[in-house]
Amino acid sequence: MFKFALLLAALVSAPASADTDALYQEHCAECHGADRLGAMGPALLPENLGRLRAAKAEAIIRDGEVASQMEGFGDKLTGEEIKDLVDYVFTPTDEVPVWDEANINASHITAVDPATLGDKPIFDADPLNLFVVVESGDHHVTILDGDRFEPLTRFQSRFALHGGAKFSPDGRFTYLASRDGWVTKYDLYTLQIVAETRAAINTRNIAVSSDGKYVLAGNTLPHNLVVLDAGDLSLIKILPVTSASGESSRVSAVYNAPPRHSFVAALKDFKEVWELPYGDGADLTPRRLQVDTVLDDFMFDQSYEVIIGAARDLEKGQIIDLDTGKKRAEMNWPGCRIWAQGSHGN
């Protein structure tokens, strides 16, 4: 009897079958990509679905999402088939999906030639006092006049923007990153998208260098950092995130450190923090700091000499010296969570 129960459990939780793959290819691939990396619709991989619950995914597939092209399949698929599709999208693909130089270059869209952009705002408001409001629910961005609190424009964004809007040093351009790795450059003077590139399959966040030259995307899939030209978002280089012993890691967060002329990246899967210098002809070659815990996120102190990091267990904050990598202090704050995003201009 016991054996039988085990066998049954194994049957019930069997990974998505060839039938489910066929269902996916027939009904879903057109919008979500045959490889599930996303197309017109978002990527459907466990890494990307992240916080989406299985029950919510089931409801979306059955009933659709309001005001989107995701229609409900409740009348075409049985409840069982929908459940199988939920399992399917939460199961990693057989092979680790690839997103390399060729994919990044092929994704690159130049919407307007940056050289043709006028040099004056096309609206009557202070261009340095605008708010970029990300409406994550329905994937739109509103540009708000910060004096009058009136919208200047509203446009559809990539699916699930996150990590906060970043700005060029002169404040004219804003850079947005989406869950699925799309980086968008938007001109706040002429109110239009300038360029877009899909830097990765899944991106944690982006940072913009103080010299206005680079956009750095910190990614969780693939495990790398991607450097884009801040002008037209073309690819400059890919930095795989690997340790001396050959392990690879997701990136937890990247931020710009203006006085250091560098980016700093925290890693999620091995105990290093990377500093990538770009000033004085430096070429973003990582300087690796050995730290004693992996960090989920961090912020800088005012001097940019230390970072204040949040460890995975969320109970401990760490103060780490950015020159030596040594821990200067540890804070035991039960439930401590550090929200660093967007709090440093870049």
Which spans of this chain sit near ligand HEC (rule: CB under 6 A)?
Answer: 27-28, 30-32, 40-42, 44, 49, 52, 57, 60-61, 65, 68-70, 73, 85, 89, 139, 159
Provide the minimum distance between the beta carbon of 156 and ligand HEC in the complex, in angstroms, as a whole number: 9
- Specify the residue, 70 or 191, whose C-beta has the smaller distance to ligand HEC: 70
Provide the minimum distance between the beta carbon of 29 and ligand HEC in the complex, in angstroms, as a whole number: 8
- Specify the residue, 60 or 193, whose C-beta has the smaller distance to ligand HEC: 60
Q: Three-state SS across the chain?
A: CHHHHHHHHHHHCCCCCHHHHHHHHHHCHHHHCCCCCCCCCCCCCHHHHCCCCHHHHHHHHHHECCCCCCECCCCCCCHHHHHHHHHHHCCCCCCCCCCCHHHHHHHCEECCCHHHCCCCCCCCCCCCCEEEEEECCCCEEEEEECCCCEEEEEEECCCCECCCCEECCCCCEEEEEECCCEEEEEECCCCEEEEEEECCCEEEEEEECCCCCEEEEEEEECCEEEEEECCCCCEEEEEECECCCCCECCEEEEEEEHHHCEEEEEECCCCEEEEEECCCCCCCCCEEEECCCCEEEEEECCCCCEEEEEECCCCEEEEEECCCCCEEEEEECCCCCCCCCCCCCC
Provide the minimum distance between the beta carbon of 57 and ligand HEC in the complex, in angstroms, as a whole number: 4
Provide the minimum distance between the beta carbon of 207 and ligand HEC in the complex, in angstroms, as a whole number: 24
- Specify the residue, 79 or 345, whose C-beta has the smaller distance to ligand HEC: 79
Provide the minimum distance between the beta carbon of 18 and ligand HEC in the complex, in angstroms, as a whole number: 16
* Calpha distance 20→193 (Å, rounded): 38
Provide the minimum distance between the beta carbon of 235 and ligand HEC in the complex, in angstroms, as a whole number: 26
Q: Please report, to the nearest 10 degrees, the dihedral formed by the alpha carbons of residues 211, 214, 219, 223 taken in order.
A: -110
- Specify the residue, 69 or 302, whose C-beta has the smaller distance to ligand HEC: 69
- Specify the residue, 41 or 164, whose C-beta has the smaller distance to ligand HEC: 41
The residue type at 83: K
Provide the minimum distance between the beta carbon of 217 and ligand HEC in the complex, in angstroms, as a whole number: 19
- Specify the residue, 104 or 161, whose C-beta has the smaller distance to ligand HEC: 161
- Specify the residue, 83 or 287, whose C-beta has the smaller distance to ligand HEC: 83
- Specify the residue, 172 or 204, whose C-beta has the smaller distance to ligand HEC: 204
Provide the minimum distance between the beta carbon of 31 and ligand HEC in the complex, in angstroms, as a whole number: 3
